[in-house]
Amino acid sequence: MKRDLLKIDDLSKEEILDILNLADQLKYEQKHGIDHPHLKGKSLGMIFEKASTRTRVSFEVGMYQLGGNSLFLTDKDLQIGRGEPIEDTARVLSRFIQGIMIRTFSHEKAEKLAKYSSIPIINGLTDAEHPCQVLADLMTIRENKNILEGLKVAYIGDGNNMANSLMIGCLKIGMNFSIASPEAYTVSETYLNRAKELALKEGVNFTNTTSPLEAAKDADVLITDVWASMGHEKEVEERAKAFKGFQINKELLEVADSNVMVLHCLPAHRGEEITAEVLEEHADSIFDESENRLHAQKAVLVKLMK
């Protein structure tokens, strides 16, 4: 039976840890020049309807390192750009390739692609979720802190796709989680209710607040994202006013743990969601996080396509 990764909640706690362990192994092998052609002769179709740096390069290089190949496809390359239904595209591509990664706006489009395809579908980002990024984040945190369970992660900023996946992923793995967003930009009730359910199940703390200082108190990890994601370009000025004060800066670091780790999924807007000073001080971790997109996604590819 084929498996898809459309949202982080598609994975159990055990499956997340299994992916992270494989990602660590693949990273070690890659750093030491050990070949791992797990997907030799297999092809990944990569559908992009949103711009990308990390997602495109990491998946493309990842497939190459795994012995397979990838096809970069945009809506201008495919007939979906001329009105072909996604369900037909799904069934056609299923006859040619062994997996699809899609980076798009509508989460429903990714779900429909998965419904009508007979091959694994991986969410490279939708407006609702960003599961591959969160796997890379968890991998990076564990590399730095040696553990995951029991740590406190604080997310400061927009209740967007990144917040949704990060919140569910951290709580599912047994981490404490707090999120601070302006009231009009918090995560949806559906995700909040799921977060509360997971926190109760795992016996961890979950806080949803409008106070960045409250969220960041004693945090082991601080994470943020841009205030205006792709698709919200017309709201930049409005959001800049709403998110004033929702910035990772020296003041916020002072209330966090003394060994706090700072992460950002990038691209970063210095002077908005994070100061240039804090980003540069924590650049090693942030760019480790970026690199780990490659290793975590390779693990996902192997698990779903091998």
Same domain, 118 and 194: no
Does 95 participate in catalysis according to the annotation?
Answer: no
Average pLDDT over residues 222-248: 90
pLDDT, one tens digit per residue, over 36-51 is 999 999 999 999 999 8
Same domain, 148 and 220: yes
Kind and range of the H or E run holding 113:
helix 107-116
Does 158 participate in catalysis according to the annotation?
Answer: no
Does 282 participate in catalysis according to the annotation?
Answer: no
Same domain, 206 and 262: yes
Query: CA 256 to CA 179: how far, in whole Å?
Result: 14
Does 170 participate in catalysis according to the annotation?
Answer: no
Same domain, 113 and 14: yes
**Is 107 marked as a binding-site residue?**
no
Q: Give the domain CATH number at 205.
A: 3.40.50.1370
**Which of 225, 239, 282, 297 is labelled catalytic?**
225
Same domain, 111 and 152: no
Same domain, 123 and 138: no
In the numeric block, the tokens 């240039």 are attached to 276
Same domain, 151 and 121: no
- Per-residue pLDDT, 75: 79
Same domain, 136 and 274: yes
What is the extent of the structural domain holding 287?
Answer: 132-291
Inside any domain, residue 78: yes
**Is 161 marked as a binding-site residue?**
yes
Same domain, 189 and 260: yes
pLDDT of 287 strictly over 80? yes
pLDDT, one tens digit per residue, over 172-213 is 999 999 999 999 999 999 999 999 999 999 999 999 999 999
Does 194 participate in catalysis according to the annotation?
Answer: no
Per-residue confidence band for 230, with pLDDT thresholds at 50, 70 and 90:
low
Kindly list the distances between the CA atom of residue 92 and the CA atoms of 43, 63, 86, 304, in Å, as whole numbers in the listed order.
14, 21, 10, 19
Same domain, 175 and 122: no
Does 103 participate in catalysis according to the annotation?
Answer: yes
**Is 225 marked as a binding-site residue?**
yes
Kind and range of the H or E run holding 165:
helix 161-172
What pTM did the predictor assign?
0.97
Inside any domain, residue 284: yes
**Is 186 marked as a binding-site residue?**
no
- Contacts of 182-191 with CB under 8 Å at 24 or more apart are 182/210, 182/242, 182/243, 182/246, 183/210, 184/242, 185/158, 185/159, 185/239, 185/242, 185/243, 186/159, 186/210, 187/159, 187/163, 188/159, 188/164, 191/159, 191/163, 191/164, 191/167
User: What average pLDDT is seen over the chain?
Assistant: 96
**Which of 65, 98, 133, 247 is labelled catalytic?**
133
306 burial type by CB count under 10 A (0-12 exposed, 13-18 middle, 19+ buried): exposed
Same domain, 123 and 141: no
The SS3 of residue 87 is: helix
Query: CA 168 to CA 282: how far, in whole Å?
Result: 24
pLDDT of 77 strictly over 90? no
